[in-house]
Structure 1
Amino acid sequence: MDVLSDTIAAVRTGSPVSGVFVRHAPWGRRYPLVPSAGFHVMVRGSCWLLAPEREPLALDPGDVLFLPRGAAHLLASDPGVAVTEIAMPGAPHEIAGTGERAEVLCGAYELGRRHPLLEGLPEFVHLPARSEDPALRGAVELLRGELSQARPGGDAALPALLDMLLLFILRAWFENPESRGRSGVFADAAVSAALRAIHGDPAHPWSVSALSSVAGVSRATLGRRFTALVGEPPLAYLTRWRMLTAARLLRETDAALAAIAHRIGYTSEFAFAKAFKREFGLAPGQYRRTQTRAAA
């Protein structure tokens, strides 16, 4: 069981949205706080990230900036320039000018529900072009090539490349030894084994004792390491994962509520509905209807 792929599939909803904007120095663009995960890829030229309580950060060609919680920020040609616009739908693709040209791919991913692994990410994840991750670099180059000219199949290729970019961004972060310890989630063999067990069979009546046997460590050791690295105890995570799995089944299938309840380990449809409403604030049927309307 690939825990990272499984997690992304469970929390991602809708399709990624994106667009390239072209500006000529001097320029400054404000991005308000949004309820989704944002990203920027520096296609050509350079600019600066400006955000409260942090030093200005230079973004060079090929750099990737990921904002897992859609934090408010500025992009500007220089740290000292005035803000000239606010990013919003309908903004012009390109504003002519004679200064240095910058091309930035901006976009967002809808995350239907927060996940503890993603909550552990910083407000801004900067992955520079000099990164040694060949997969991420390859994804960025494919995106840059696809955006450089209109070609047959581009409307299908771009969303697929953006989904691939999200996976490679997260993998690059978790596998980076300098990621403030978050890479330990997958580097810790015991915690990884417990996560794979939960994701592989969420309907199983897991206990801390059963998970510790799978992980090959004591209950106390698993509980301490799991909580430190994932952000919550094993059984709390089990409940959360069951609800995320149920939400995905409600969005993507027409399975009966009783069948979904059984697939995630509930023998009673009533108990499942109660747990789901406690987590999502809606009964399962209401949640399914809201997702159907949103997709229409």
Structure 2
Amino acid sequence: MAVDPLTELVTLLQPSVRFSKLVECFGPWKIRRPGTGDPFFCAVLEGRCRTVVKGHPPLILEAGDFLLVPAMHDLTNESVPAPEDETTTVPVQDGKGRFRIGPEGGPVDLRMRIGHCRFASPDAALLVPLLPSVVVARGEPRFATLMQLVADETHADRPARELVLERLLEVLLIEALRSGDETAAMPGLARGLADMRLAAALHAMHAHPERAWTIADLAGEASLSRAAFFSRFDRIVGLKPMEYLFAWRMALAGRLLCERELGLDEVAERVGYSSASTFSVAFARHTGETPARYGRLQTGRLSRPAPETVDAG
């Protein structure tokens, strides 16, 4: 069965909603959000706004646009045109999951659904760099539908709520990564999969992480010379080929260790190591923990749900 690396990556990240709200704005305003490292999303339902993510050029978001920042840096949202002063606006809560900027009962210039999610994977810090740092998908009405479903599940108390939210977030992230206009210009897995030559090598790595891959093998999968493949992969994916393979193997190993269904020898074999001792040394160097201790620690952490936080900004 064919392996889809993007689906595999998003599934392994284990996304879940931490907080979601509807914000309605009128008049000039500016909101600054400090970098939290968590994934941040914004879907513009009506109107337009200006968004600046630290380290990136300003973006004008309009109705139908969806913004995803997989690891949020300092971010500023503001009206168009921007306010004359630098005063930060504080939205006022106007019902459950609903916030407002401007006089109550007045007109609305902008309506947007924003929020934070979290990646439950213990290897999220390793996996997030494989995603583009900013994703913008424009003019896709299905994002508004997906966000409404996320909002409904977030605020409802129905059976299987967490499972439904997890699946909705997975679909939302995959849609954003494969639809984003700006995605194609940023290094990351999505850009690599858009390159026909590199996609062949990436699919091969994901389908057979247990193989003793060499640069020559991967270059052959991509029908490129070794030098051309190495340079192209580093430039487009943002990691050297063997760094990417190592990162992916360690992430898969982490998942297998948390599941605790296989012995150490079997885990080592699944991720391309000839012996448990060789794998243990590599894994400990990468995570700072032995495989056995890592599995116990992460299983304990994942069994405790993360607390919900209320974000008034």
Matches within 5 A, 1:258-277: 258-277=265-284
Q: Where does residue 9 of structure 1 map in the other structure?
A: 11
Deviation at 1:142, TM superposition (A): 3.6
2:238 is aligned with 1:228: no
Mapped to 2, the partners of 1:108 and 1:258 lie a distance apart of 35
- Please give the alpha-carbon distance, in whole angstroms, between the structure 2 residues aligned to 1:53 and 1:218: 34
Following TM superposition, by how much is the alpha carbon of 1:170 offset from its aligned partner in structure 2, in angstroms?
0.9
Q: CA deviation at 1:69?
A: 1.9
SS at match of 2:104: coil
C-alpha spacing 1:204/1:48, structure 2 compared with 1 (3 Å): same
Alpha carbons of structure 1 residues 107 and 208: separation in structure 2 relative to 1, 3 Å: same
Alignment of 1:38-57 (within 5 A): 38-51=40-53, 56-57=58-59
Q: Deviations over 1:151-194 (max 9, x none)?
A: 87793544422221101111123xx5883265652243332111
Say which of 281, 285, 288 aligns to 2:295: 288
Distance of 2:76 and 2:67 partners within structure 1: 12
Name which of 122, 125, 128 aligns with 1:113.
125
Output the CA distance in 2 between the equivalents of 1:172 and 1:271.
40
Percent identity (aligned)? 27
Distance 1:211 1:291, change over 3 A: same
Residues 236-275 of structure 1: pairs in structure 2 closer than 5 A: 236-275=243-282
1:263-289 C-alpha deviation (Å, 9 max, x unpaired): 112122222121112222222223222
User: Residue 67 of structure 1 corresponds to which residue in structure 2?
Assistant: 69
Corresponding position of 2:307: none
Q: Which runs of 5+ in 2 are unaligned?
A: 305-313
Structure 1 residues 119-178: Cα deviation after superposition (integer angstroms, max 9, x where no partner): 5x24x33322x25xxxxx3243243366479887793544422221101111123xx588
Residues 1:13 and 1:278: Cα distance change in structure 2 (over 3 Å): farther
User: 2:38–2:70: 8 Å Cα contact kept in structure 1?
Assistant: yes
TM-score, with length taken from structure 1: 0.79
Question: Could you tell me whether the CA contact under 8 Å between 1:3 and 1:195 is conserved in 2?
Answer: yes
Q: Which residue of 2 aligns with 1:134?
A: none
* Shift in alpha-carbon separation, 1:83–1:94, aligned structure 2, 3 A: same
Map Cα deviations across residues 222-263 of structure 1 (whole Å, 9 max, x no partner): 222222222233223222221111112223443222221121
Contact 1:50/1:74 (8 A) holds in 2: yes
Equivalents in 2 of 1:109, 1:86: separation in Å? 23
Question: What is aligned with 2:148?
Answer: 144
Which segment drifts farther, 139-148 or 216-225? 139-148
Aligned partners of 2:219 and 2:225 also within 8 Å: yes
User: How large is the Cα RMSD of the aligned pairs?
Assistant: 3.3
Q: Is residue 2:172 matched to residue 1:165?
A: yes
CA contact (8 A) 2:15 2:166 kept: no
In the other structure, the counterpart of 2:20 is 19
Q: Does 2:185 align with 1:180?
A: yes
For the residue of structure 1 that corresponds to 2:67, the secondary structure is strand
Question: In structure 2, what is the Cα distance between the partners aligned to 1:289 and 1:186?
Answer: 34
TM-score by length of 2: 0.75
Q: Is the 8 A contact 1:143 1:158 kept in 2?
A: no
- The answer for the alignment partner of 2:310 in structure 1 is none
User: Is residue 143–residue 172 contact of structure 2 (8 Å, CA) maintained in 1?
Assistant: yes
Matched, 1:85 2:90: yes
Is residue 184–residue 191 contact of structure 2 (8 Å, CA) maintained in 1? Answer: no
Contact 1:116 1:231 in 2 (8 A): no
Distance in 1 between residues matched to 2:206 and 2:145, nearest whole Å: 32
CA apart distance, 1:86: 8.6
* Amino acid aligned to 1:108: C
User: Is residue 94 from structure 1 mapped to residue 99 from structure 2 by the alignment?
Assistant: yes
Q: Relative to structure 1, is the Cα distance of residues 73 and 100 closer, same or farther in structure 2, using a 3 angstrom cutoff?
A: farther
Number of aligned residue pairs: give it. 282
Q: Specify whether residues 257 and 210 from structure 1 end up closer, same or farther in structure 2 by C-alpha distance, changes over 3 A only.
A: same
The secondary structure found in structure 1 opposite 2:126 is coil
**1:127 is matched by which residue type in structure 2?**
A
Counterpart position of 1:125: 135
SS at match of 2:63: coil
